[in-house]
Structure 1
């Protein structure tokens, strides 16, 4: 249990790095965008401002999830991570719509200003920095199996791609293709909305106890191949933060002793931990009976 909480503590490093990078980049882009007359760069900067709020939400979720189990939360507070990611998706979606609407309105302006070419370098430097943050967070999230941090990493990657799009738009506008800058801003809005939808879809699936069927089949095979298991009557899985909870009903030889049934249950728990890193398994043991004798001696 201690390892779980230490892993979550490590996840905070990624959240703090994201927050620091977003604060610097959002100010850098918004100021540069207004000075250089680039709508795409300003939109990218506001995108990063929402990412600050989203990263803070993830950080708060990671902090809450470290609270140990209590009377009201016997399984712990790990779902706080998922809820934080859900809140972050709503924040992203709100700003995504705002950026998209503003960009569309800019197509119909009577007066147009050509964005300064230095905005291209601002956007490209930002993209390189965000790819670095993405690489760090993705590696850490994979190492500690943290969905909230992985969602943050996906957002980092989207931001890097958004900055590249902004650079292309600014460059095109500087050479007379005025429509490329607002078009890039539109793409920024769409990428924000797409990222928000992906996070929303995944988090709501987890919060409603949805579970990947392929993963469940892998768990089923592990239980079925455990020595002493005659059949599996039922198996269910659900996600609790970045942890998996499994309930399984197995059937064993009715002649086995209670001690042997307990040993089989322990073996299932060990195999689930070893092969799938599942630490919470509830095993219910029932007798395996193929034929029932009816009254009067019939079958």
Structure 2
């Protein structure tokens, strides 16, 4: 039940990002068209993809809260990871489009200098997104939510993108009109980079990948449990915002069932308390 409540709290961060992206994308696109800024236009298109990505994350989080059923004995927690994967595809498609437009404008630059209003709009958007990032990164750490952590990383990238747009537009005011489309190209690269990072993390989790260093720390914790003679095997995987661990340990063959069971409970308690593991399956074998 605690995991489901945490997912519901995570939705607050996704809703905040969605609202911010809707307002800022509309503002940027309108100002960009009026001021003639390629960099701000690219930034606005970036936020428009973030609307879709945030919506996908919300759908994934909502599905993740569904309880286990006959076909999903472990629950639906991985739905949020699938949503993140879908969002990465959307982001890379638009990122490539923005990159193409930026390069085209750079090769054939427009001599018109963007209005300074575009620069102040970009700077305002950067401040807003940095505030959203701070909220979401704190929320992700509190709830240990990988989905909201990904949202927060996207928020931070958007803040940096807007700062880059501000610099490019400001530079164009000093007789460097090519700097604005150049910044638009950089924005496209940043969108693609963010999409790649989300894709890599999502596919890593969906294929049961797990950090080897963290697994070694868990093994050290289990080895400290009184009664554990040897760790024969230990595996871990990510299931949504949950960590699942399977381990086989060797104990003294003279122990009875109750004593062996006490060791399994001690292992479970230590992994849950020290490593925030959601579910532990311990198999006991005699030494």
TM-score when scaled to structure 2? Answer: 0.98
Instruction: Compute the displacement of 1:110 (Å).
Output: 6.5
Structure-2 change in CA distance of 1:210 and 1:263 (3 Å): same
Instruction: Compute the displacement of 1:199 (Å).
Output: 0.8
Match of 1:107, SS? helix
Which structure has the larger Rg?
A: 1
2:75 corresponding residue in structure 1: 76
After the TM superposition, which residues 275-286 of structure 1 pair with which residues of structure 2 at under 5 Å, given as runs? 275-286=274-285
Contact 1:127 1:161 in 2 (8 A): yes
Instruction: Compute the displacement of 1:279 (Å).
Output: 2.2
What is the distance in 1 between the residues matched to 2:250 and 2:129?
52
Instruction: Give aligned pairs, total.
Output: 287
Instruction: Compute the displacement of 1:26 (Å).
Output: 0.3
1:260 corresponding residue in structure 2: 259
Contact 1:269 1:279 in 2 (8 A): no
Across the aligned residues of Structure 1 and Structure 2, the Cα RMSD in angstroms comes to 0.9
Structure-2 change in CA distance of 1:110 and 1:55 (3 Å): closer
What is the distance in 2 between the residues matched to 1:56 and 1:71?
28
What is the distance in 2 between the residues matched to 1:110 and 1:65?
47
What is the distance in 2 between the residues matched to 1:268 and 1:50?
44
What is the distance in 1 between the residues matched to 2:107 and 2:132?
37
2:115 corresponding residue in structure 1: 116
Structure-2 change in CA distance of 1:170 and 1:138 (3 Å): same
Match of 2:270, SS? helix
2:171 corresponding residue in structure 1: 172
Instruction: Compute the displacement of 1:133 (Å).
Output: 0.4
After the TM superposition, which residues 43-54 of structure 1 pair with which residues of structure 2 at under 5 Å, given as runs? 43-54=42-53
What is the distance in 1 between the residues matched to 2:221 and 2:214?
11
User: Could you list the runs of 5+ residues in structure 2 that have no partner in the other structure?
Assistant: none
Match of 1:32, SS? helix
1:194 corresponding residue in structure 2: 193
What is the distance in 2 between the residues matched to 1:155 and 1:17?
13
Contact 2:109 2:181 in 1 (8 A): no
What is the distance in 2 between the residues matched to 1:21 and 1:249?
48
2:84 corresponding residue in structure 1: 85
Instruction: Compute the displacement of 1:109 (Å).
Output: 2.7
1:247 corresponding residue in structure 2: 246
Match of 1:210, SS? coil
After the TM superposition, which residues 269-280 of structure 1 pair with which residues of structure 2 at under 5 Å, given as runs? 269-280=268-279
Runs of 4+ aligned structure 1 residues displaced above 3 Å come to: none
After the TM superposition, which residues 198-237 of structure 1 pair with which residues of structure 2 at under 5 Å, given as runs? 198-237=197-236
What is the distance in 1 between the residues matched to 2:106 and 2:241?
44
What is the distance in 2 between the residues matched to 1:150 and 1:109?
39
Match of 1:132, SS? helix
Contact 2:172 2:178 in 1 (8 A): yes
Instruction: Compute the displacement of 1:112 (Å).
Output: 2.7
1:126 corresponding residue in structure 2: 125
